[in-house]
Structure 1
Amino acid sequence: MREYQILRRLADRADVLLRVATQFLDTDAAGAEHMAGLGIDVAVYPTAGEPAPGVPARVWRQRSPGLRADVETMLRSGVIDLVHVEGYYMTQHLPPQRTVPLVLTEENVEYLLDRRWQEVHGPEPTGARWQDTQALERNAWHGATVCTAVSADDANHMAEASPGLDVRLTPNGADHLGPVLAERRPRTVPDDERPTVGFIGNYSYPPSRDAAHELLDQVWPRVHALVPRARLLLAGAALTPALRRSAEEQAGVELLGEVPDVATVLDRVDVFAAPLRVGGGVKVKVLEAAVRGCPIVTTPVGAQGLDEDLRAAMTVTDNHEEAAESMAALLDDSAHRARVSKELLLAAAALPTWDAAADRLWAVWGEAIATGEER
C-alpha cells in the first residue's frame, strides 16, 4: 500500500522502473497491471529461495534470481539515476559494486521485530537469531547513500545504533481512506445494534496472525463475559484454518474475510482492537482506525511510532484483563465512546497526507542524487 500511494504521486515526476519479488505471483501480477496503468514500468518475479542454516527467513524468502539479473542489466544500461529499496533484505538483489546512489527505506527495524518475535515464540526453525538479522541489516544501512524510516522511533534508533548513518524520516500518509473526519459518522450495522469490536489484518503476515490469535484466545473471551451481547468482526485476507477454528470456538465472532473497503468495516465497529505483540514502524491498521474516529485498544507495540497526542487518545496496555475491561467500558457507554472518538480525530488531524509523504521522499531522492554526483 505504501509503495502504491507514493509511486502513483511520483510517476509524473520521474521514469519509475518498479521491480518486485513475490511469493504470491498471481496476486501481485494483477496489481502490477494497475501500476502499469499509472505509467510505471513494472515487472514481477517469483521468489526461489530455500531455507538455509542461520539465514533469516525474511532474506531467503525474498531471494529472486530473475529480479537480480534484471536489476544488474538495468544498472549496466546506464539509464538508472538512483535505486530505491524497501527493506534491507531486498539489497541482496544489487551487485556488490554500483555507480548510482542507493536510498534504503526501512518500514521496520527488522532486527528489533525479530528480537521481539523470538522472545515470544523462540528462534526460527533454521536457527537464525535476531543478531543475524542485526548484522545483515546494519551492513545494508552502511551500504546505502541515505537511509529512511517511516517512524521517528525507528529513525532515532537507527541513528543511535549506527553513529554517522545518514537517516531521514519519510513517514506514511494517513489519508487513503479520505480526509480525517470532523466527527465520527453514525455507526452503520445492517442487522442489529449489538456493540461491536473489530480487527483487520493480512493474516499471511505473522505479527497480524499472532495478534488475531491473541485477541481470539486471550482477550475476546474476557470481553464477551463482560458484555455478552457484544460481537467481534474479524476482517482481512488469508485467514488460516487455525484462525477459523479459534473463531468458531468462541461465541459472538463473525469472520468477514477479505473486504473491498476497510472504511466500511471500521464504520461498523465501536472499538478497534489491536493486541499486537510483535511489530515495528507504524501500524497502518491503527492509523486507519484513528482517522475514522474509531476508539482503539492496543498494546505498546501497536502504538509504536505514533506521536504523544495520538497515543494519549488510545487505551494502551499489554494486560489482557485491562484490555478487556477497557473494551467493555467503551462498548457499554456511547458517551464515553464519543469523547474518545473526538480526541482521536483531533490528534489524527496532525497526521501527514500521502502527498506530503511523497514530497518528503522526492526530496530525499534529489539529495541522494546530488550526493552521488559530488562523489
Structure 2
Amino acid sequence: MDIIFLDHYELGQYIPGSYMGKVVLHEHNAEFIMWKRLAELEKNPIKKLLLNIESGRILKAEKTYAGRADLVLAAPNDIDELCSQGVDRKKMRKTYHLGEDFMLDAAPMQFEKTKKSLLYIGTLTWEANVDGLIWFIDNCWTELRSRNPDLILSIVGKNPDERIIQLAEDNEGIELRGFVRDLEDCYPIHRVFIVPLRFGSGIKVKILNALYRGIPTVTTAIGTEGLETIDGKHLFECTGAEDFIDKVDVLLKDKELWRSMSDASRELSRKYTWKSLLAEHDSQLESLI
C-alpha cells in the first residue's frame, strides 16, 4: 500500500500501528473552530463549558492526525486556523469543497424572470443552518415583509428541524419546499439567495453553488471564508440584522446592481472547478509516491 487517504480526521484512529507508508489527511473543516464559535454564541454557562471542552478535544485529535500525515488538504481559511494551533504549514495544501460546477453551463439568470422572493437551500438538520435560519426569521423577516409585503422565503431541504417548521407556521410568506431533485427548478425563479451563517468552518458549498448559478447572495463573513469574494461585487457580506435587511432589500429592487453581481459571481466561480482542483491533487499525491 502506497498511501492511506483519510477523508476525515476521525478516520485517523484506524491507521494500523505497523503502517509505515504515506498518509494524506483531508480536513473537511477545521472542525474545532465550528465548536468554538458555537460556544461563543451559547448563553447557557454549562453548555458553553461543554462546547469548549468538545472544541478542545477535537483540536487535539486534529493536531494528532495532521501530525501523522505527510500531506494535509484543507480550505485556505482552515489552513490558517490549524497552523495557528501548531500544525506544520509545510505539509498543508489548499483544497475546496466544490459544488455543482456544471451550473456554469446553464443560461444566465434574468432579473425579469425572477419573483420577488428569497431562496435558502441547505441541510435542515445541521445546527449551523438551523441556527442561521432562526436568526434570520427572528431578526430580519418582519422588517423585510414590511418593506416588501408580497415577499416569499422559499426554504429547500428535506426533514426540516421542528423549530423551522414552527417558525414557518408562525410567519406569513415562508414556504417549506422539502427535497427538490433538480435545483434548476429553484434558482432561476428566485431573486436573492440567503446564507445567514453565525458559526461554521470550511468552504460553504451552498455559496459556491449560488456563485456558479449567478443568483445574487447575501451572507456573513463566515459564509465567505476561504473564497476570494469581494463584498459588494460578487455578493454581500453582512455584519448584523440591519445590514442583512438592507442588502437583501436593495437586491430585490435594484435591477442593475442585481445584474452586475450575477455576472461577477459567475466569472469568479470559474476559478473553482473540479477539473482544475483534481489535477492539482493528482500531482500532489504523485509527489508522495
**TM beyond 0.5:** yes
* Range with greater deviation from structure 2 (311-320 or 200-209): 311-320
Contact 2:99/2:206 (<8 A) preserved: no
What is the rounded CA distance, in whole Å, between the counterparts of 2:196 and 2:78 in structure 1?
20
Aligned to 1:49: none
Q: How does 1:136-147 map to 2 (within 5 A)?
A: 136-147=61-72
Q: How far apart in 2 are the matches of 1:320 and 1:126?
A: 25
Once the two structures are aligned, what percentage of the paired residues are identical?
A: 22
Q: Determine if contact 1:172/1:352 at 8 Å carries over to the other structure.
A: no
Structure-2 residue corresponding to 1:123: 48
The Cα shift of 1:182 comes to: 6.8
Equivalent in 132, 154, 163 of residue 78 of structure 2: 154
8 Å CA contact 2:118–2:191 kept in 1: the answer is yes
CA RMSD of aligned residues (A): 2.3
Q: After TM superposition, list the pairs within 5 Å mapping 1:54-133 onto structure 2.
A: 80-121=1-42, 122-123=47-48, 128-133=53-58
Q: With structure 2 as the length reference, what TM-score do the two structures score?
A: 0.89
Match of 1:345 in 2: 266
Conserved? CA contact 1:310–1:347, under 8 Å: no
The answer on whether the counterparts of 2:36 and 2:51 sit within 8 Å (CA) in structure 1 is no
Taking structure 1 as the reference length, what is the TM-score of the superposition? 0.70
1:199/1:274 contact within 8 Å kept: yes
**In the superposition, relative to structure 1, how do residues 148 and 164 fare at CA in structure 2: closer, same or farther (>3 Å)?**
same
Assess, with a 3 A threshold, how the Cα gap between structure 1 residues 297 and 307 changes in structure 2: closer, same or farther: same
Are the structure 2 counterparts of residues 298 and 127 from structure 1 closer, same or farther at C-alpha, using a change threshold of 3 Å?
closer
Aligned residues: 284
Higher helix share goes to which structure? 2
Say which of 320, 329, 332 aligns to 2:241: 320
Report the secondary structure of 2:221's partner residue: coil
Do 2:195 and 2:217's aligned partners in 1 also have CA atoms closer than 8 Å? yes
CA contact (8 A) 1:291 1:348 kept: yes
Take 1:144 and 1:163, find their aligned partners in 2: how far apart are those partners?
A: 10
Of residues 306-315 and 200-209 in structure 1, the stretch that sits farther from structure 2 once superposed is 306-315
Q: Is the 8 A contact 2:66 2:87 kept in 1?
A: no
Q: Partners in 1 of 2:129 and 2:189 — Cα distance?
A: 21
211-220 or 319-328, which moves further after superposition?
211-220
Query: Residues 261-272 of structure 1: matches in 2 within 5 Å?
Result: 261-272=182-193
Structure 2 residues without counterparts, runs of 5 or longer? none
Q: What secondary structure does 1:123 align onto?
A: helix
Query: Which residue identity does 2:93 align to in structure 1?
Result: R
| Secondary structure at the counterpart of residue 168 of structure 1 | strand
CA displacement 1:110-154 (0-9 Å, x = unmatched): 1111110111134376873322221121111101121111x2222
Aligned counterparts of 1:211 and 1:353: Cα–Cα separation in 2: 27
Cα deviation for residue 329 of structure 1 reads 1.5
The answer on whether the counterparts of 1:237 and 1:257 sit within 8 Å (CA) in structure 2 is: yes
